[in-house]
Amino acid sequence: MPKAQETVLEIDLNALKHNFEHLKSRLHNDTMFMAVVKAFAYGSDACTIANYLQNLQADYFAVAFVHEGVQLRKAGITTPILVLHPQSANFNALIQNCLEPNLYNIKILNEFIAIASAEKLSEYPIHVKFNTGLNRLGFAENDVDAIVSKVKGTSAVKIKSVFSHLAASEDLNEKTFTLNQIEKFKAIAKNITQQIGYKPLLHLCNTSGILNYPEAHFDMVRSGIGLYGFGIPIAIGTEKDNKNLKPIGTLKTIISQIHSIEKGESIGYNRAFTADAFLRSATLPIGHADGIGRQYGKGKGYVIINNQRAYILGNVCMDMIMVDVTNIDCKEGDEVIVFGPSNTAENLSETASTISYELITAISQRVKRIFVEG
C-alpha cells in the first residue's frame, strides 16, 4: 500500500470479496444473499461497493432510504434493491427507479397500494416486514388477515418477500429469545403463505444470524457489517468467525506538525490537556468533521505511528487532533494509521465505549476514498 500523503480511507476490495465469499460459504447453494449497502456502504462508498458486489453476483441489495437506492440506480446497479425504511413522500421516486419497498404497517401499505394503483402498476414487488421482538418496525402477527385482504384486493402489488429482524442473534445469553423469534417468524410465514396462495421469499438472518443460526437462513440472508469485516464481539463462536473476516477499510492520515510542550503548557481547546512533564505532540489533519468524535479525546482514543500507539491529547477539534509522540521516533509527514486491519475500528471504538458500526459509518464523505485490489 502506498504511504498516505493526506487523510484517506483505503478500501480493500480483495478483503470485501473474501468476506462475501466466506459468508456465502456458510449458506446452502440455493440461499440468496442480500448485501446491505445503506449508510454509504457503512462509510465506505455505496456505488463502488455495490458495483463490485454486483459483479460478484450478490442477489439483492438493501438500503435504508429511497435516495440511497436512486444513487445506486444512477451508478448502474440493476440488481433488485430493497428499501428498508421508505417514506410515502418518496414513493414516486421509488417506483420510477424500480426500487422495492419494505411495508411495515397498514398505513404505509395502504399508501403504497393507492399510488401503485394510480400508476396502473401490475404486481409491483413489495416486501412485508413483521415485528417478532425487535420492536422497531414491522406488522404484528395478528395483522396477517388485514394484509392478505389488502393484497388480494388489488392487482397492483405482489408480496415478493416476508421478513423480520433478529434482535440479539449475537448474544449467547439471549439464545432462547432468538429461537422464539425464529419460531414466531416461521408461524407468521406459514400463515401468510397459506392465505395468499404462493410462497414469497423468507429472510430473517443478519450477519450474526448467518454465523450462529443456520437453521434460520431460509430463502435469503442479509449481511451488512460482516461484508465490511466485522463480526459481533460476543457472538457464539465469534472468535473463529472474526478471524475469517477482514476489515476492508484503513483510515490513514499524516503528521502535519510536531510541537515541544513544556511542563504546565496546555494543548487544544478549553485547555483540556495540561502537560505534567515535557512531551512532544503531533498534530494530525483529521477531526470530528471527519468522523473522529470528541468522545475519543482526552487520552481515550489512539492512533498508530510507526507501529506504536499515540494517544489523543485534549479535545478532538473539528479538523485536527493532537497526539502524544513523546516516545515515538517520528517526523512531520510520517504516515498515521487511525484504524485498519491490525488496529481495527472495533479496537478504536471500544476506547470510547461504542461499536465499530458507529465509527465506520461516521467517516465523512470529505475524506478521500481510495480503492485498492491486490
| pLDDT tens per residue across span 129-180 | 999 999 999 999 999 999 999 999 999 999 999 999 999 999 989 999 999 9
pTM of the complete model? 0.94
Q: Give pLDDT, residue 243.
A: 74
Which residues is 222 bridged to in the sheet?
34
Q: What is the architecture, at CATH level 2, of domain 13-243?
A: Alpha-Beta Barrel (3.20)
| Residue found by looking up cell 494543548 in the block | 267
32, 60 Cβ separation under 8 angstroms: yes
Q: Which residues sit opposite 251 in a β-bridge?
A: 9, 339
300 CA to centre of own chain: 24
Going from N- to C-terminal start, the domains of the chain cover 13-243, 249-372
Tell me the H-state helices in the chain: 13-25, 38-43, 46-55, 66-74, 91-96, 106-118, 144-152, 175-196, 207-212, 238-243, 345-351, 356-361
Identity at 36, one-letter amino acid code = V
Instruction: Could you please state the CATH topology (level 3) that the domain comprising 249-372 is classified under.
Output: Lyase, Ornithine Decarboxylase; Chain A, domain 1 (2.40.37)
Q: How far apart are CA 97 and CA 63, in angstroms?
A: 13
At 342 the pLDDT is 87
Low-confidence ranges of the chain (pLDDT < 70): 1, 232-242, 374
pLDDT tens per residue, range 59-108: 999 999 999 999 999 999 999 999 999 999 999 999 999 999 999 999 99
Cα 325 to chain center, whole Å? 33
Residues with a known catalytic role: 38, 269
